[in-house]
Structure 1
């Protein structure tokens, strides 16, 4: 394991009214409702579970520890669940992890929620865990996700061709992005400025 990297353990992170807490089976009804907000599972370029698959989705996320740590994204004021996100493909030996399995109910998309979650997770990864690199990935046809990742300040590493099976049985190319520890201070300042410009302080 990298001498300076700590494997992430279940924890709760809070910022700007958004709380990330370890995803558990007690979140299943609210996560199901979030998926139904916009019928998100019908989008072929995402991995959002169908309503009847939510329990299995959570079971799988928990079973993937310690290489994945899944969070429920919660409105800190109301307690309403807005979506989910994860640390995944955690490789302690080289201080690398990725942020993904991220989706939000339609009403919470294009708000400050995603930027806040990324700021929380990357701050913890780089400044507490000692990560050398944080990766992000998305479907080659998920242009909205690619644009969102690029707005965060991540650099495009390349495309893994014929990489993963979509829900409809087709095989996707995966677009890979990353942010290094050296790039983090500038990215952090960018994310804070982005939130401030949208009135979130």
Structure 2
């Protein structure tokens, strides 16, 4: 797999920029749209936690590359996503830490972001496999991942602590390089039907 460097990607009016301190106010506003930190099955930071969230995302390089998700037309921060658990010597990485302001959920944004990230992973970085994971009770996230065409690999039992102190099971999914061309065509088709 090729080395991973910070990069800006853009498609369908959505821009992914390497997450940086100047995105903090926008990220606070995005999290506040729906008070997303109150959702039990996500890791969205509370407004006072955003600076630390950004710093942690930057500090985790080179095993994580965090992005701010930007509405290109307005320049507004609408969420965040990341490459993470990057294991370059076997060509494996994951996409996660993904959340969007409530008003941008169930729009073209998530599909556009995944198309950008997967295209870059498979076609620029030569990844062999891209994984995705979610909380076992985050049924909306599982459905969204399955709509992408990712295959369910299994469940890691008693895997990670939630913010409320309970321990979640983690549902694991993946897409291989061989599956990518068909999944890419499917995502492009979905976006075309939405008029994105």
TM-score by length of 1: 0.97
Q: Which residue of 2 aligns with 1:77?
A: 73
Other-structure match for 1:194: 190
Deviation string, structure 1 residues 83-131 (Cα, Å, up to 9, x no partner): 0000000001100000000000000000000000000000000000000
Partner of 1:49, secondary structure, is coil
Q: Match for 2:155 among 149, 156, 159? A: 159
Match of 2:115 in 1: 119
* Match runs of 1:37-186 below 5 Å: 37-186=33-182
State the TM-score, normalizing by the size of structure 2: 0.99
Alignment gaps of 5+ in structure 1: none
Cα RMSD between the aligned structures? 0.4
How far 1:133 moved relative to its partner?
Answer: 0.2
* Superposed displacement of residue 148, structure 1: 0.1
- Cα offset, 1:7, TM superposition: 2.5
> 1-side partners of 2:128 and 2:13: how far apart?
28
